[in-house]
Every structure is written in C-alpha cells, then in structure tokens.
Structure 1
C-alpha cells in the first residue's frame, strides 16, 4: 500500500499523532547516534551557542528568504505541483496556534539535531543534506517539492557549515515551517 493510501485512511488526529511519534523517533535516533559517534557529550555540545545576531542573520533572515521564494513559486506554478497529498493541510489547517507552534518546533529540533548535529557533523554536508531530502519520502514523486526540499536541505546544511551552530539551523527550519504552516492554516 502506498504512503498516500495509508495517510488517506488516517484521521487528522491520527496523522498528527504519527508526526509526533516520527519526530520523537528522530530525536531518539539523534541521541543514540551521538552516544556512538561522539566520544563525549561535550564534544557534541560545542554546536550549541546562543548568539542573537548570528541566529537572526543566519536563521531568521534565510528562513524568510526561503518562505518568500516558496510563496512566489506557489503563485507562479500550478497548485498540483505543490500538492503533497493534502498532508500538511490536514496537520495544520484546523489547529490552535499553540499546537502548530509545538509541532513545528518539535520537527525543527528533532530534524536539525539528527541531520546537522549528528549526521552532517560526522559524515559531511552532502550526505546529510541528501538523506534529509530522502526522509521526506512523500516528496520523491513530486519534482517541484523534491527540488524545494533538496534546496532547503542544502541551504540549511550550508548555514550549519558556516556557523557550526545548531541554534541557527533550528531557527531557520522553525521559521520556514512555521510560516508555511501559518499560510496553510490561514488559507480559505
């Protein structure tokens, strides 16, 4: 059974629950891999530092640029090219704002810890960025969505490469996902 068929049989609440479970799973994988791939926890913690200017410059501003480009493409391209099977709409459309923020924060933290904090740190920028795109399996048969997620993955991976700061990549990821979730939530 294809993923889209499985998703169609889930209620919106079950779909959100699956998202929550999958993100907790990614968090667990990130922490387990960090235990095996880093000698000490402090070796991994060097990638956490709070620098407001850096976070704004390399997290918020790139997030806004990505969303702006996405919105322009959504206007210019046929809607079917951006259709993910309605999954994002079902996850975010009728949710209270706090629920949207919590879901988006969980996604940003879990994915960035795994893909930038562990995989990119150990295996490099390109493998981590490609793997990030492949994990978003529902986009593999949608060329515009696949190119978009690849671009975002490489861009955020590059931001981590130049800053070595997970706070930056989490902020960029959170900014992108939150703004796009709000667009979905506010669409009529």
Structure 2
C-alpha cells in the first residue's frame, strides 16, 4: 500500500494527530541533539534575537517571495504537479483557524529549531538544507514539489546565515505554512 492509499483511509483528525506526533519527535530530537552538541543553554539563547523589525523585514519578505512564487506556479501548472497525495488537504480542510495558527507555529518552531538551530549551527548551511529537503522525501516522486522544498530550504537557510536569528526563519516558515493552510482550508487553492 502506498502513502496516498494509506492517507485516504485515515480521517482528517488522524492525519493531523500524526503531524503533531511527528513534530513532537522533531522537537525532542532538536532538544536531545542540542544537549550533546551545545556547550550550554546560553548557546540556545544566542540563536534568538528579538528584533521585531528584522524579523518582519527578513522573515516577512522571505515568506512573501516564497508564497508569491508558489501561488504563481500553482496557477500556471497542472494540479497534479502540486498534488501531495492529499496530506495537506486532510490536515487543513476542516481545522478551525485557531488550530491552523497553532499547528503552523508549532511546525515552524520544531522544524526550525532542528534544521537551523541545531543542524545548521553545528554542521552548516548545506547539511541543514539537504536534511530539511530529505525530511520531505514524500515529495521525491513529485519533482515540482521536491525542487520547491529544496529551494525553500536553501533560501530560508540563507536567511538564517545572513541574520543569525532563529526568529526570522521561524517567522518565515510560520507565515508560509499559515497562509497556505488557510488557502487550503477555504479552498482558495485549486
């Protein structure tokens, strides 16, 4: 049984629950890895700078650029190029807005802590960007989605390189997922 068939047999809530479990695992992995790789808790604090102008400018502009390109590509390419097997639709189509906000923030926080906070900080930009893309392996047989995830990963990683601020990447990731989630919820995306 392939992933698409498995997803079709699951309820929307089961898919959402699996997403929460996956993100809890990613968050736990980032905490465990940082325990071994970072010298002190101060190393975590140094990754975060509360500079609201920089967060909005860099994170917001990255999110707007990525969303603009995504929406453009989705409007000109056949739907099958962006079909992820129904996972995103099952996640977002029946969630209340407040849960979409909470879920997308949790995903952004967990993934950015691991990929930028731990992997990029300790192993570099290339390792983090490739690792992030590999976690989205389900897109491997969907070239447009896979290339898109790789490009987004490298771009957000680059944003972290130039700002050295995890809030920037968390904000960008959150806004991208939030807007796309709302678009799916209200069937704005075809």
Scaled by the length of structure 1, the TM-score of the pair is 0.97
User: Hey, what's the Cα distance between the residues in 1 that align with 2:35 and 2:21?
Assistant: 21
Question: Which residue matches 2:55?
Answer: 55
| 2:26 corresponding residue in structure 1 | 26
Aligned equivalent of 1:14? 14
Q: Offset at 1:140? A: 1.0
Please give the TM-score of this superposition, normalised by the length of structure 2. 0.96
State how far apart, in whole Å, the 2-side matches of 1:148 and 1:11 are.
Answer: 27
What runs of 5+ residues in structure 1 fail to find an aligned partner? none
Could you give the per-residue CA deviations for residues 107-135 of structure 1, whole angstroms, max 9, x where no partner exists?
00000000000000001001110110110
* Deviation of 1:17 (Å): 0.3
Taking the aligned partners of 1:139 and 1:57, their CA distance within structure 2 comes to 30
Q: CA RMSD in A?
A: 1.0
Alignment of 1:143-182 (within 5 A): 143-182=143-182
SS of the residue aligned with 1:20?
helix
Instruction: Give runs of ≥4 in structure 1 deviating > 3 Å.
Output: none
The match for 1:40 is 40
Deviations 1:30-84 (A, max 9, x none): 0000000011110222011110111011101110110011000000100100000
Size of the alignment, in residue pairs?
A: 188
Counterpart CA distance in 1 for 2:125 and 2:137 is: 20
CA distance in 2, matches of 1:2, 1:160: 36
Structure 2: runs of 5+ lacking an equivalent: none
1:28 to partner: Cα distance: 0.2
Secondary structure of residue in 1 paired with 2:81: helix
